Amino acid sequence: MLRSDAEISRDLSVSLARLRSEMKYCVRCSNMSDEDLCRICSSSSRRQGLICVVADFRDVMAIEQTRQFAGTYHVLGGLISPMDGVGPEKLRIDELVGRIVDEQIHEILIALSATMEGDTTAFYLAKRLEPYQLTISIISRGIAIGGELEYADELTLGRSIQHRVPFGSQGY
């Protein structure tokens, strides 16, 4: 920093100050935003009846980069882990239920980490959302594209065999 142009340091400090003062959470989905409603929630081109549930706003960025999802998001703010003091009441699950009622949501896509806590949260959401006539789907798991089969861990490889798909589907 000391060797670089002084203007770069000034810009950086202004940006950091703006980040702290202007960034907030979207009132609907809890994604990071500089407006009350984030760009995704306020976009007319997004399918409003479809919500992708993620744990963290960084997951929103990851999914957006795929350009494969045209619905809206709901950021839970974490995963259920009672032993770490994170029960369902600490996450934005009641807000999700509220959105399902208010926004006439017909499909939920669960996109959570493939961990025990991710699974517990997915099961819990499915249980809580049971009374609402919804389609609930979950992102699939398997071998990474471009990955060598011999380096895949046994669990992932085993489940990929178990949940194999017909050849010709999914772009093969």
Q: Residues interacting with another protein, by CB under 8 A?
A: 80-83, 87-89, 110, 116-117, 119-120, 122-124, 126-130, 136-138, 140-141, 153-155, 158-159, 161-163
Cβ neighbours for 36, distance < 8 A, ≥ 6 positions apart: 24, 26, 27
Q: CB-wise, 23 or 161, nearer to another protein?
A: 161
CA angle 60, 66, 68 (to 5 degrees): 95
Pairing of strands 107-110, 24-25: unpaired
Pairing of strands 50-54, 107-110: parallel
Q: CB-wise, 37 or 126, nearer to another protein?
A: 126
Q: CB-wise, 19 or 161, nearer to another protein?
A: 161
Min CB(66)–another protein separation in Å: 18
Q: Which amino acid is at 90?
A: K
Min CB(84)–another protein separation in Å: 8
Q: CB-wise, 102 or 153, nearer to another protein?
A: 153
